[in-house]
A and B are shown apart, each in its own frame.
Chain A
């Protein structure tokens, strides 16, 4: 039996008691799983992340991380926001070092740990550059490196590639899969791109209407490692059409 790393048990949430977003929701994400959350904008996807990271507090139910229910979920997950949110006044090395700095790791020790990783992230030679000197793809890699360095086994990626051009995006997706396989993490990935979801994930959760009561779950019928060509498989094509129809339906009803 796989170990659950993230569990929502009967969780309800609304902003200030007004607009209910989650209604007695149950979700489980397992160890080393790649789960994508897909849905139209405004469907509460980001709220899910705000709950997991502890920026918001559930009104009802339990959220368990690695089978514990911590009082304060801050610092338990590696969160990578939609915009890279790098500090413009810090170099690549200093930006990546933020989570280590917060954990009290010395400057020397953290550069010893980060420098070899930069190579692997295609950032060699960029350690003393400022974010304004980097391309969009490089910034996202620094941001991803920063979320990895939190040391958490759960990574939350909120539409990380939505600002990138199509070509960069494809190579970043392949690169992400590579990293995920190597690092033994569980990844929760928000997107509104069906292709991206199918290519990356083991399971896809579809967010339709708020309040969310149950998540429709789709298992992607593809093995690993995958290539982009696998998306042309008839079963996957059919699934893709189905998903698009569902998402459209959600929008129509709004």
Chain B
């Protein structure tokens, strides 16, 4: 607790400032105080937690799962085959120049108002950090260590599994941490643009009703989802790389 003390203090201070400013301005329909948001959250708890949270969570988890499978597969392919690297790596990098969010309406048109249009947006956003980090990790393994494996009679497959994969793990997890936070954004934005349920959808609907506190309430929940997922990845990371804890 001592470690995070200063951060906690700053948060408390900022919330206090917000509360005061909001009471002073006194326009709670567009600028609600934190206490107002908390009260509204409590009132809306059932709708938020049981109607909208599951829908958003499904998008995030399905999107991340698809990204991990496709991203790792592509990274492995590019690491193993130089032709694949030359063919795909520039595409993966330049695909980041496309404003994915701006394309979201198209996906709504393609895939409809159901869950899949949002999953596609999430995958497009989270695919990049996972692929690039995993690929860089596979490539980052020490040349000396790979050569040592050769002198001991190791095959290409031995080197890949025993040197490259373990070297890539820390990179994969950093990519996953970025992807997890992005996935929450991706799902929320997808839902703004067209959905029948979800936290992003609910927040936007409340906006049209000038219910400021109800706009903020689902955002609080979205942030919580992001934080929980991030911590989950950290736990997984620690578990799968016990050697790092000793450093």
* A162 touches B (CB below 8 Å): no
* A43 touches B (CB below 8 Å): no
With a CB–CB cut-off of 8 A, which chain B residues contact A85? 142, 144-145, 148
With a CB–CB cut-off of 8 A, which chain B residues contact A90? 243
Q: How far is the CB of B13 from chain A (nearest CB, A)?
A: 39
* B54 touches A (CB below 8 Å): no
B154 touches A54 (CB 8 A): no
- Residues 232-247 of B, flagged 1 when their CB comes within 8 A of A and 0 if not, give 0000000001010011
Contact residues of A: prevailing secondary structure: loop
Interface 9-mer from B59-67, B73-81, B158-166? B158-166
B246 touches A75 (CB 8 A): no
- Beyond A130-B243, A132-B243, A132-B246, whether A53 also contacts B151 by CB under 8 A is yes
How many contacting A-B pairs (Cβ < 8 A)?
Answer: 60
Q: How far is the CB of B44 from chain A (nearest CB, A)?
A: 47
Q: Which of A76, A99, A150 has the most CB of B within 10 A?
A: A99
- Among A55, A74, A77, A132, which residue has its beta carbon within 8 angstroms of that of B247? A132
Query: For window 216-243 of chain B, which residues contact chain A by CB distance below 8 Å?
Result: 241, 243
With a CB–CB cut-off of 8 A, which chain B residues contact A87? 145, 162-163, 166
With a CB–CB cut-off of 8 A, which chain B residues contact A53? 150-151
* B153 touches A (CB below 8 Å): yes
- Beyond A85-B145, A89-B166, whether A74 also contacts B151 by CB under 8 A is yes
* A167 touches B (CB below 8 Å): no
A81 touches B144 (CB 8 A): yes
- Residues 118-138 of A, flagged 1 when their CB comes within 8 A of B and 0 if not, give 000000000001101100000
The 4 closest A-B pairs by CB, nearest first: A75-B153, A53-B151, A79-B151, A130-B243
- Residues 128-162 of B, flagged 1 when their CB comes within 8 A of A and 0 if not, give 00000000000000101101111111100010001
Chain A residues close to B by CB (< 8 Å): 53-55, 74-77, 79, 81, 83, 85, 87-91, 98-99, 101-103, 129-130, 132-133, 150
A54 touches B148 (CB 8 A): no
A-B contact pairs, 28 of them (CB 8 A): A55-B150, A55-B151, A74-B150, A74-B151, A74-B152, A74-B154, A75-B152, A75-B153, A76-B153, A81-B144, A85-B145, A85-B148, A87-B162, A87-B163, A88-B247, A89-B166, A89-B169, A89-B241, A89-B243, A90-B243, A98-B149, A98-B152, A101-B162, A102-B152, A102-B158, A103-B153, A132-B246, A132-B247
A83 touches B144 (CB 8 A): yes
Q: How far is the CB of B156 from chain A (nearest CB, A)?
A: 12
Q: How far, in whole Å, are A19 and B6 apart by their CA atoms in the complex?
A: 60
With a CB–CB cut-off of 8 A, which chain A residues contact B246? 129-130, 132-133
Q: How far, in whole Å, are A54 and B92 apart by their CA atoms in the complex?
A: 37
| Chain B: number of interface residues, binned into ranges | 20 to 34
- Beyond A132-B243, A132-B247, whether A102 also contacts B150 by CB under 8 A is no
Contact residues of B: prevailing secondary structure: helix
Q: Which of B150, B153, B162 has the most CB of A within 10 A?
A: B153
- Among B147, B152, B243, which residue has its beta carbon within 8 angstroms of that of A88? B243
Chain B residues close to A by CB (< 8 Å): 142, 144-145, 147-154, 158, 162-163, 166, 169, 241, 243, 246-247
Q: How far is the CB of A57 from chain B (nearest CB, A)?
A: 13
With a CB–CB cut-off of 8 A, which chain A residues contact B145? 85, 87
- What residue in chain B is nearest A72 (Cβ atoms)? B153
- Beyond A130-B243, A132-B243, whether A79 also contacts B158 by CB under 8 A is no
Q: How far is the CB of B171 from chain A (nearest CB, A)?
A: 13
Q: How far, in whole Å, are A55 and B246 apart by their CA atoms in the complex?
A: 34
A81 touches B241 (CB 8 A): no
Q: How far, in whole Å, are A129 and B144 apart by their CA atoms in the complex?
A: 22
Q: How far, in whole Å, are A87 and B154 apart by their CA atoms in the complex?
A: 15
With a CB–CB cut-off of 8 A, which chain A residues contact B243? 88-91, 130, 132
- What residue in chain B is nearest A101 (Cβ atoms)? B162
